[in-house]
Amino acid sequence: MDRFQAMQVFTRVVDANSFTGAADLLGLPRATVTTIIQNLEALLQVRLLNRTTRRISLTPDGAAYYEHCARILGEVEEIRLEQLLRRVE
């Protein structure tokens, strides 16, 4: 499993508050998003999201993991933008 992609998918699910919304934003099938989240939870050995047929919510572990993911992904994006700016200069 690509952990970086899994972090991106997880944060999109949380931000969209929906597996379907995240799938649409990422251009992935909903089933793929679901599988990635299930595999991530198995890898981490924690439940990140509580799911019902109508809504999702973060578990305490999920909230902590989301904060870490958001910070890491933000830092990676900053580095990417810095590199792009250096190429332009």
Does 64 score more than 90 pLDDT? yes
Tokens of 83: 């590199």
**What is the structure's pLDDT at 40?**
97
Residue 47 has pLDDT above 90, yes or no: yes
> What is the DSSP secondary structure assignment for residue 49, as one 8-state letter?
E
pLDDT digits (tens, 9 = 90+) for 9-24: 999 999 999 999 999 9
Q: What's the pLDDT score for residue 76? A: 94
In order, the DSSP letters of the chain are: --HHHHHHHHHHHHHHTSHHHHHHHHT--HHHHHHHHHHHHHHHTS--EEE-SS-EEE-HHHHHHHHHHHHHHHHHHHHHHHHHHHHH-
